[in-house]
Amino acid sequence: MERLTENKIVLIVRRTRLDELIARFNTEDQARFYVEHLGADFSDYQAEDRNYKRAVRQTESVLSRHGRLQVVDRAFVPNFIFGPSDTVVALGQDGLVANVLKYLQGQLLVGVNPDADRWEGVLLPFTIAELDGLLPAVFAGQRPVRAVTMAQATLNNGETLCGVNDLFIGPRSHTSARYSISIGGRTETHSSSGIIVSTGLGSTGWLRSILAGAAGIASTLSGRNLKLNDQGAFAWDADYLYFSVREPWPSKTSSASITFGKIASATPLRLVSHMPESGVIFSDGIESDFLHFNAGTLATITLAGRQGRLVI
């Protein structure tokens, strides 16, 4: 088949739930026994798997007509070297788009919804059928692109990690995070369940749930109906982030005054770990991709020096 261009296209795919079950139980029959033994519907796993793999084949066929195609599994994205002019296509759920975006260095990312009946796809504005008309416009620079601000954690050993939706700083398990927190000239010692740093893109996710919980507690204690509405949501390309401390514990050795606020370039958030072990920083819900945040480690949280670029 003759290609229309020599542009490089990188298609990012993921394993399905059925793939994960087969990897765990060795065969599909054993996976079926496990799921059905618990009373769940195994046919839903099979249907999702069939639909996604059909979507992968269709997407590969379309992309191969428009350029030089390379298919990469999500598991290999952290170590994959993207070319500066690569066009990246993510076929999957919203989380796949966020997970890929933080590893790009300005390359355009196209989010494609493989199963519109199953996935709402806030970050997946395109269908497979639209790719034939979309790609030439992308290559020609004729499609609008939306900038996405990212959060970045930088450690005093030089390690860094970016977050497209959010960063979590705290304990690996359900124990107390102990650290010193500093922002805007204020410093105090904390014992909490950890800290969430949210971007504009992530402000309708984890941050919204934190604010909803806070509003519910305040409503009950005050006897007033405090509605959340869209409070807390902010622009994807905003030049600031929000941080929220989860369940801070005030005691003789820990305070709870610095619990929520704005992070900007001029006012980064600085954290020093007091945890001898099990302290971590991870982003976008991917716990396997993390930085160690143990005793003596200084983490500086601020805006990343680059933005993601989503085709819309």
CA atoms within a 13 Å half-sphere pointing along the CA-CB vector of 289:
20
Q: Read off the pLDDT of residues 173-183 as tens digits, 9 standing for 90 and up.
A: 888 999 999 99
DSSP run (H or E) holding 292: strand 286-292
Cβ neighbours of residue 148 closer than 8 Å, sequence gap 6 or more: 101, 164, 199, 200, 201, 236, 237, 307, 308, 309, 310
pLDDT of residue 1: 62
Which residues, other chains included, contact 226 with Cβ-Cβ below 8 Å and sequence gap of 6+? 215, 218, 219
- Token pair recorded at residue 79: 């170590």
Give alpha helix (H) positions in 11-110.
17-25, 28-37, 42-66, 94-101
H/E stretch holding 222 reads: helix 206-222
Q: What pLDDT does 54 receive?
A: 97
Handedness of CA 99, 100, 101, 105 (dihedral sign): positive
Q: What is the pLDDT of residues 219-239, one digit of tens each?
A: 888 877 766 555 678 999 999
Written as one letter, the residue type at 209 is S
All structural domains of the chain, each given as residue ranges with its CATH number in brackets, are 8-143 (3.40.50), 149-304 (2.60.200.30)
Q: Residue ranges of the chain with pLDDT lower than 50?
A: none
Q: How many angstroms separate the Cα of 83 from the Cα of each of 64, 69, 105, 251, 284?
A: 18, 13, 9, 52, 24
Quick one: pLDDT at residue 220?
A: 85
pLDDT digits (tens, 9 = 90+) for 101-117: 999 999 999 999 999 98
* Rounded Cα–Cα distance for residues 268 and 220 (Å): 34
Q: Which tokens in the block code for residue 44?
A: 């839903």
Indicate the SS3 state at residue 202.
helix
Predicted local distance difference test score (pLDDT) of residue 229: 58
Q: Which residues pair with 242 in a beta bridge?
A: 198, 262
Nearest alpha-carbon partner for 256 in 177, 197, 199: 177
Q: What pLDDT is recorded for position 231?
A: 62
Q: How much is the pTM?
A: 0.86
